[in-house]
Amino acid sequence: MQDYKAPQRDTLFVMQEVLDFPSHYAKLGFEDASMDMVQAIFAESAKFAENVLAPLDAIGDQGCVWDNGKVTTPAGFKEAYQQYVDGGWTGMTHELELGGQGLPYSLAGMMAEWNSSANHAWSMYPGLSQGCIETIKEYAPQALKDAYLPKLIGGEWTGTMCLTEPHCGSDLGMLKTKAELNEDGSYRLNGTKIFISAGEHDLSGNIVHIVIARIAGAPEGTKGISLFVVPKYNVDNNGNVVNPNGVSCGSIEHKMGINGSATCVINFDDAKGFLIGEANRGLNAMFTFMNVARIGVGVEGLAASEAAYQGSLRYAKERLQFRAMDGVKNPQGPADPIINHPDVRRMLLTQKALAEGGRALTLYCMQLADKTLYAEGPEREAADAKLALLTPILKAFMTETAQESTSYGIQVYGGHGYVKEWGMEQLARDTRICTLYEGTTGIQGLDLLGRKVLGSKGKLLQLVGQDLHGICASAKQVASLSDYAKQLEKHLGELHNLTMAVADKASTNPLEVGAASVDYLMYSGYVVMGHFWLQIAQVAQAKLDSGTDEEAFYQAKLHTAKFYFERLLPRTKAHKAGILAGADNLMAMPTELF
């Protein structure tokens, strides 16, 4: 995204003033993650995103090149990756003894937003390695950890996740990739995986695939899935490459967007792999990778909304069209900047509200993720439970609203938005994938309503709801925010009633869960984000009341909060109607009448 500027000030605002990250880091034992250190890291990360990645974004749209199984990434991608590795960015959050820097997970997550805003396609290469690393850390035997982790963490190697096959997407129980035991305890894998992001490229010396397959004789369905580490090149016990493995790239996809990211067909032909985790319980282990990836996709949605807002705002201030309805704003020119037109402001404020509210939601989820990694006992258990509920909301709500933000990016530009040179149509194309991978919005909705809410008999919802009620109780003490707090309290009560209504219907018709799930997720998303806007507004009001030299910054927060509560939160009414409409209007029509 040309002319992208990393939102350092807003990120620090959320960290320091809204979510109190200094205390959070101190409590978890990250003394080195002081705010001075964080700001220094942010400054360097911003330079990389703005000066290295953003200029490569349009170049990357030209796509990767596949030739006889080898993939060449767009010009500049390889050099940018090496610069990223040399800067130590790949190992920021990993243990010192493994070559990392021992910093908290959330710190890298914040900067992942900036890299994705600047260049979505490029950011996927190092991003996917993190899930691979975490899966090996948690489930692999020590010998495999010793052989693979140092070079993955150091960035010499990259990693992937191999789930999807030509005949099965999200229904992983249908997979056909087979694994047969070798005499030395390794396995021989045969099968084909598709849609493998970063499955083949020229950025790193080896690519480590995390692969699901079925061991010969294993049960059918998801109960018979096992998980394997399968490298592109075989390695010895010291982690040195020795010879090519039976892993090849059959082709790359010609896609709607993120063309700089190689999406590959990967063939495993007697490929040597190593079982990690328990046999036939690979799907349980794979969720480690998938949960990391789902949070990452939510970050991509946030990144797209921010990039769309920045581009739209810049254009709206410069583009002259018509005179403002309430009087001339630019008497020296033939027309006024389009930012003076109400509908343009509607689009800009929507983008701004979704990006800035989404940043608070995202950083809160990363704060919870830190606790699941570094806290102990009840605090860790509570954070894990809350994150379980919020992850499908983060992933789906942030990516669905990103579709709206990037669409508005094109709309603000008018005809120019549809032309490649301005970057908005590429941003919209690149972002479209985000609602699809790591589970579509429909699957996230089923996960939220079916598995997390109803599956826990409402306990997870109640746990998160307690925190949200606490935010409302605090904000009700501020006169200017009391009405907003009361609105949200009503929504929390309504969400409880909607949950009970769906549960009652589902007791006699299981289709009711699927019929309500996406509307339920979107309703939840607007309500949860509303609470973060309430927190933001409370902090902004307090700063203005006590005096500040950044009055414009905090006034903008209050104006945007007002817009959110009066324009965006009311969307819940339509989602409520959808939830209560039931399954009959979807399922009654015979298939042959479609």
Give pLDDT, residue 1: 60
How much is the mean pLDDT over the chain? 95
Instruction: Determine contact, residues 493/416, Cβ cutoff 8 Å.
Output: no
Where in the chain are the domains? 8-63+75-137, 157-280, 440-588
Please name every residue paired with 406 in a beta bridge, in sequence order, or none if there are none: none
What local confidence, expressed as pLDDT, does residue 173 receive? Answer: 67
Maximum C-alpha span of the chain: 83
> For residue 448, what pLDDT is reported?
98
Q: Which residues contact 148 (CB under 8 A, 6 or more apart)?
A: 136, 140, 157, 208, 229, 231, 235, 239
- Phi, psi angles (nearest 5°) of residue 100: -90, -175
pLDDT (tens digit per residue) in 94-104: 999 988 999 99
Tell me which residue of 279, 300, 269, 282 sits closest to 122, measured CA to CA.
300
What span, in angstroms and rounded, lies between the C-alpha atoms of 421 and 431? 17
3-state secondary structure (DSSP) of residue 88: coil
For tokens 């967007």, the residue is 257
Residues annotated as catalytic (active site), given as ranges: 438
Confidence band, pLDDT 50/70/90 cuts, at residue 292: confident
Q: Left (φ > 0), alpha (ψ -120 to 50) or beta: where does 276 sit?
A: beta
Summarize pLDDT for 220-234 with one digit per residue, the tens. 887 889 999 999 999
351-385 pLDDT, tens per residue?
A: 999 999 999 999 999 999 999 999 999 999 999 99
Decide: helix, strand or coil at residue 524: helix
**Per-range mean pLDDT, top range of 227-231, 288-292, 294-298:** 227-231
Q: Could you tell me the CA-to-CA distances from 403 to 397, 408, 435 in Å, in that order?
A: 10, 9, 9
Among 57, 1, 73, CA closest to 263: 73
For strands 206-215 and 157-162, give the pairing. Answer: parallel
**pLDDT average, residue stretch 137-160:** 95
Q: Is 273 helix (H, G, I), strand (E, B) or coil?
A: strand
Q: Return d(Cα 284, Cα 454) in angstroms, integer.
A: 20
Q: Provide the residue count of the chain.
A: 594
Average pLDDT for residues 58-67, to the nearest whole number? 98
- Residue 392 pLDDT: 97
Q: At what angle do helices 35-47 and 105-118 cross, to 10 degrees?
A: 20
Angle between helices 282-318 and 105-118 (to 10 degrees): 50
Backbone dihedral region of 319: left (phi > 0), alpha (psi from -120 to 50 degrees) or beta? beta
CATH code reported for the domain at 8-63+75-137? 1.10.540.10
For the chain, the 3-state helix, strand and coil shares in percent, each to the nearest 5, are 65, 15, 25
CA quadruple 293, 295, 299, 300: dihedral positive or negative? Answer: positive
pLDDT value at position 222? 78
**Residue found by looking up tokens 């935010």 in the block:** 471
282 with 225: CB under 8 angstroms?
yes
- pLDDT for 288: 65
Between strands 178-181 and 65-67, the pairing is unpaired
Q: Phi/psi at 280 (nearest 5 deg)?
A: 70, 10
Collapsing DSSP to helix, strand or coil, 63 comes out as coil
- Residues 41, 43, 48, 54, CA torsion sign: positive
Asked if residues 5 and 310 have their Cβ atoms less than 8 Å apart, the reply is: yes
Range 298-312 average pLDDT: 98
Average pLDDT for 471-484: 97
Judge whether residue 462 has pLDDT over 70. Answer: yes
pLDDT in tens, 189-248: 999 999 999 999 999 999 999 999 999 899 888 788 999 999 999 999 888 999 999 999
- With a pLDDT cut of 70, the percent of the chain lying above it is 98
SS3 161: strand
What gap in Å lies between CA 473 and CA 360, rounded to an integer? 19
Torsion 272-277-279-284 (CA) sign: negative
Q: How sure is the predictor about 168, in pLDDT bands with cuts at 50, 70 and 90?
A: confident
Average pLDDT over residues 292-300: 90
Q: What is the pTM of this model?
A: 0.96
Task: Return the H-helix or E-strand segment holding 67.
Answer: strand 65-67
> In 14-164, which ranges are continuous DSSP H helix?
21-28, 35-47, 57-60, 77-86, 105-118, 120-139, 142-154
**Could you give the 3-state DSSP secondary structure of residue 196?**
strand
> CB–CB of 193/162 below 8 Å?
yes
Q: Which residues pair with 410 in a beta bridge?
A: none
- Report residue 289's pLDDT band, with 50, 70 and 90 as the boundaries: low
Which helix H or strand E contains 501, and what residues bound it? helix 482-506
* Token pair 């709309």 in the structure block, residue: 411
pLDDT in tens, 406-447: 999 999 999 999 999 999 999 999 999 999 988 999 999 999
* Residue 106 pLDDT exceeds 80: yes
Residue 286: pLDDT band by 50, 70, 90 thresholds?
confident
Phi, then psi, of 302 in degrees rounded to 5: -60, -45
Pick from 91-95, 130-134, 286-290, 368-372: least confident: 286-290
Q: Pairing relation of β-strands 206-215 and 178-181?
A: parallel
Q: Phi and psi dihedrals of 77, rounded to 5? A: -65, -45
Per-residue pLDDT tens for 537-568? 999 999 999 999 999 999 999 999 999 999 99
Helix (H) / strand (E) containing 242? strand 241-244
**Alpha-carbon gap, residue 462 to 465, rounded angstroms:** 5
Fold of 157-280: Butyryl-CoA Dehydrogenase, subunit A; domain 2 (2.40.110)
Segment 7-29 mean pLDDT: 97
Rounded to the nearest 10 degrees, how much is the dihedral formed by the CA atoms of 189, 226, 195, 182? Answer: -10
